[in-house]
Structures are given as C-alpha cells and as structure tokens.
C-alpha cells in the first residue's frame, strides 16, 4: 500500500525564495466525490510543466494517507481538466527547497487561491525528525481548509 506522510506549514516570510529552484507551474482539478456523506478518497488530475498525473488519495485528516499516482497522457489530462473536473481548478507554482536531508515543496497559489502559500515536507514515518527552517510558521497539517481538495469548494479568496 502506498502511504503519504506529509506535514504542512504556513510561512513567515519569503526568505525561502533565495534557496528555491525555478518552480513548476501546475493546474489540477478534482472529480466529483462519492455521493455518500463520508467521502473515502479524492481523485484528481494534475498537469505541470512536464508531466500529467491521475492521483487517488484517501480522504482523512492527519499527516498519513493512502496515495496512488499514475502518469497519464497529457492530452487526456487536459481534456479531463476542461470537461470533467469541478471548478475552479487549483492553480499554483511549486518550488523546491532542500533543507537538511529533506526537500520542502512550497506551493504559491494563484487564481481563486491567490495569496495562499504553504510549505510541505514528506517524511518516511510519522515520528521522523526534520529540520524546521526559520521561514516556517504555524503547522496546518490537521486543518482541512489547507487540503487542495478543499480549496475548490472553499477557495482562499472566500476565507
């Protein structure tokens, strides 16, 4: 079983930018969830500068979730974004910053989520120790408002 263990933080400032790569622009959309009142998974399609993916992630709070990701045809992904996914799409640029032995992913959102910036670090186990850079602020790993799937129905501009 594929498991993603991820911690998510807000940022204090932009000092991370001096260490970041050039960034990767992404558009992603989510398919309508199950009709029951307790969704079990989110299903999304993502297109970035080089690749296209179909992703299935278990829908639960916390830092550990099941995750499955498969590369798919770019034209198919674009068509899914345009015709099958809920709107608005999630638009962001993802930057990577290496701190210690971990690579942080900093998502700078655009569109309806303009102004939102979140840093994530993936871990091998829930208790793994990692260096917290001085540009980190409050942890929001357990706050569902910051899950990308939530930003479709409740975009940052409406908070």
Which active-site residues does the annotation give? 30
The torsion angles phi and psi of 157, rounded to 5 degrees, stand at -60, -20
Distance CA 131, CA 85 (A): 37
- Which residues lie closer than 8 Å to 34 by C-beta, 6 or more apart? 40, 41
Query: Coil, helix or strand for 82?
Result: helix
**Quick one: tokens of 50?**
């080089």
């Amino acid at each position: 079983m594929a498991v993603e263990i991820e911690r998510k933080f807000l940022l204090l400032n932009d000092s991370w930018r001096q260490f970041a790569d050039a960034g990767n622009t992404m558009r992603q959309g989510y398919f309508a969830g199950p009709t029951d009142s307790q969704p079990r998974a989110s299903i999304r399609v993502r297109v970035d500068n080089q690749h296209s993916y179909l992703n299935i992630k278990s829908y639960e709070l916390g830092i550990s979730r099941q995750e499955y990701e498969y590369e798919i045809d770019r034209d198919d992904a674009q068509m899914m974004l345009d015709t099958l996914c809920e709107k608005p799409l999630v638009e962001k640029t993802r930057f990577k910053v290496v701190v210690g032995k971990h690579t942080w992913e900093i998502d700078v959102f655009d569109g309806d989520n303009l102004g939102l910036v979140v840093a994530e670090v993936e871990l091998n186990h829930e208790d793994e120790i990692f260096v917290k850079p001085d540009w980190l602020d409050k942890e929001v790993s357990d706050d569902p408002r910051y899950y990308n799937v939530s930003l479709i129905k409740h975009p940052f501009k409406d908070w």
